Amino acid sequence: MGQQKTAPESGTRESERRRTILRAAIDVFARKGYHGCRIADVAKEAGVAYGLVYHYFKNKDELLETVFETGWSGFIARARAVAESEGPLVEKVRRIADVAFEAYRVDPRAVKVLILEIARSPAGARINRQTAFVDVIRLSAQMFTRAKEAGELRPDVDPLLASALLFGSIEMGLTAFVVGLADARDTAMLERAKAQIADSFLHGVLLGGASASAEPVKPEPAKHELPRGEDPPDVAPLKREKAAPRARAPKRG
Amino acid sequence: MGQQKTAPESGTRESERRRTILRAAIDVFARKGYHGCRIADVAKEAGVAYGLVYHYFKNKDELLETVFETGWSGFIARARAVAESEGPLVEKVRRIADVAFEAYRVDPRAVKVLILEIARSPAGARINRQTAFVDVIRLSAQMFTRAKEAGELRPDVDPLLASALLFGSIEMGLTAFVVGLADARDTAMLERAKAQIADSFLHGVLLGGASASAEPVKPEPAKHELPRGEDPPDVAPLKREKAAPRARAPKRG
DNA sequence: CGGCTGGTTGATTCAAGAATCAGCCAGCCA
DNA sequence: TGGCTGGCTGATTCTTGAATCAACCAGCCG
């Protein structure tokens, strides 16, 4: 009684429908959060019958898990390629930032789900969510260890910590966009953010203080400071969806 | 008809029971996550009848909200005090890192809940969870803006982004402990992490490259590199609790 | 001492929503 | 054309767990 769920057709060409549903899931998760939405929402978003979701995915958890695997595995692969490549640390760090921001550019919703729902919260139980997160950090920690042996790193810098800090910076940088603190439509801002993350990180970590070819990527020196058009949009310019799913009976109102 | 729930006695001396329950909630949330636990778990942990939880808290959400307010407001207050104080940026940044790590030292569980459940996830709907998070970033962004005007910051550094990066680093540094990547019982490691975060961040951001009085706090130059006793504990040394709450009927075999 | 007050109990109620399943229908082969 | 296959449907079932509430008890006051 095998699962005919995966790939009814040839290898990569999994059912069109399955992908539609997955896509819808990403969107809905991004909008309402994993716990804040019901399977019915996903089905509706996909324009598909409720039951069909269960035809393609064992349960809600597997849905999230799949979103995770799909998105994360791609990122890990790219990050690993960079981390294990040859070349100066400076380059690698910049390219890792590239990978992350490119992922965001291509599919912000997916990144949002990855960051908000999966990377942290003990939400979807199943897979090694945390483990996976930890994996990337380990991966890049090795990179730093090698860099350190090669004398590219300040000797007092702990590779593991450095790795954590790099991804912390990247993640929080992205979070700023995800959460709406910064305007994600502002491409220039994205570019600047990416550059600044790599730069800030490197200059603090590299052996030779503020040297090490600071501006290689962006041509403009320092065009605009706070790229958003208006001044700081009060408190939170984020979308602020419906975001109040639970709380059925307010006890004594 | 008013809520006799809060503070049946004098102001600060809220019912002993209430605090017991709150404490239990923090512990259980930290262990299983907000969505992964039932009120019954909290009650059991507190050694208290199920119904009593509802005597002191309107509902599950309010419980999380209270955990949030309790923990976060303290942190914000301290962070604000630092950010708005007089003195060189270097000092302030170091003190902010202090505040965060001190909070962790005092009550790691609470910090875990704050980081994993509240700061990010669209979990507990109610309060401005995200807003609060955003607030701190704004707060420190102002600090950076002023620093920049005072010429303490590289001119090409965006204050908002810098702020995000600082907290990203701090948060991810803490997450490393929260998640078990690093051993939280290793006090030296905590100290080093704190120092390294501030240092790395500053040197990349400050006007004068790698200058600016690097080692003010820690006396030892570079004692141990990877402070954990053993070598990298495979994949994930984290507690790995039960962490598989959902998934009732596995459909077909 | 007897009855009142308010913290405490936990079985019961109830709604949400995950998962199921009995079929429907479109395309295809004989 | 008739019947078969398998993707697809969505009302129905079933489980979970939040929230309620009627009763209980300990101390206290009159």
> Percentage of residues in chain B with pLDDT exceeding 70?
69
Q: Which one, of A223, A239, A221, lies nearest residue A183 by Cα? A: A239
Supply the mean pLDDT for chain A. 74
Of B71, B136, B137, the closest CA to residue B108 belongs to B71
* pLDDT > 60? residue A16: yes
With 70 as the cut, is the pLDDT of residue A187 above it? Answer: yes
Protein CA at A20 to nucleotide C1' at D1, angstroms: 36
Structure-model confidence comparison of residues B61 and B206, the more confident one? B61
Mean pLDDT of chain B, nearest integer: 74
* Closest Cβ–Cβ partner in A32, A165, A171 for B197: A165
The answer to whether residues B161 and A176 touch, using CB atoms and an 8 Å cutoff, is: yes
Structure tokens at A34: 């994993």
Cβ within 8 Å, pair A116-B115: no
Query: For residues B167 and B147, what is the distance between their CA atoms, to the nearest angstrom?
Result: 17
Q: How many CB atoms lie within 10 A of CB B240?
A: 11
Across the A:B interface, residue pairs with CB atoms under 8 Å apart total 236
State the Cα–Cα distance between residues A35 and A117, nearest whole angstrom. 9
Enter the tokens of residue B198: 């501030």
Between B26 and A252, the higher pLDDT residue = B26
Report the run of H or E that residue B31 belongs to, with start and end.
helix B16-32
> A242-246, B81-85, B145-149: lowest mean pLDDT where?
A242-246
Residues B84-136: tens digit of each pLDDT: 999 999 899 999 999 999 998 899 889 888 877 766 555 444 445 556 777 88
- Closest listed residue to residue A29, CA positions, set A57, A5, A65: A65
Q: What pLDDT, on a 0 to 100 scale, did the predictor assign at position A238? A: 25
Angle, vertex CA A155, rays to CA B144 and CA A209, nearest 5: 40
Rounded to an integer, the average pLDDT of B31-40 is 91
Q: pLDDT digits over A47-58, tens only? A: 999 999 999 999
**What number of residues does chain B have?**
253
Q: For residue B194, give the chain A residue with the closest CA.
A: A161
Quickly give B210 CA vs D21 C1' distance in Å. Answer: 67
Q: Please indicate whether, in this complex, the C-beta atoms of B236 and A115 are within 8 angstroms of each other.
A: no
d(CA B80, CA B184): 26
Nearest to B246 among A61, A117, A137 (CB): A61
Q: Which of A53, A63, A93, A121 to mutate to test the interface with B (most CBs of B within 10 A)?
A: A121
Region A90-102 average pLDDT: 94
Residue B253 has pLDDT above 50, yes or no: no
Query: What's the pTM value of the predicted model, to 2 decimals?
Result: 0.74
How far is residue A21's CA from residue A39's CA, in Å, rounded to a whole number? 10
Q: What would the two tokens of residue A155 be? A: 């000797």
Nearest-CA neighbor of A196 among A179, A174, A164, A178? A174
Count CA within 13 A, CB hemisphere, residue A235.
Answer: 7
Closest C-alpha among A200, A66, A223, A70 to residue B163:
A200
What does the DSSP assignment read for B204-218?
Answer: HHBSSTT-S---SS-
Q: Find the Å distance, CA of residue B64 to C1' of nucleotide D29.
A: 39
Greatest mean pLDDT among A65-69, A241-245, B140-144, B205-209 lies in B140-144
In this predicted structure, what is the pLDDT of residue B121? 57
Chain-chain contact of A120 with B125 (C-beta, under 8 angstroms) = no
Protein-contacted positions of strand D (CB under 7 Å) = 6-11, 15-22
Dist. CA B127–CA B61, nearest whole Å: 9
Q: Please list the residues that pair with B153 across neighbouring strands.
A: B206
Q: Cβ distance A160 to B182 under 8 Å?
A: yes
- Residue B103 to chain A, least CA–CA distance (Å): 19
Gap from A194 CA to D23 C1', in Å? 64
CB A104 within 8 A of CB A111: yes
Asked if strand D comes closer than 7 Å to B200 Cβ, the answer is no
Q: Identify the residues numbered 62 to 121 in chain B whose C-beta atom is closer than 7 Å to any atom of strand D.
A: none
Q: Do B176 and A170 touch (CB under 8 A)?
A: no
Query: Which of chain C's bases lie under 7 Å from a protein CB?
Result: 6-11, 15-22
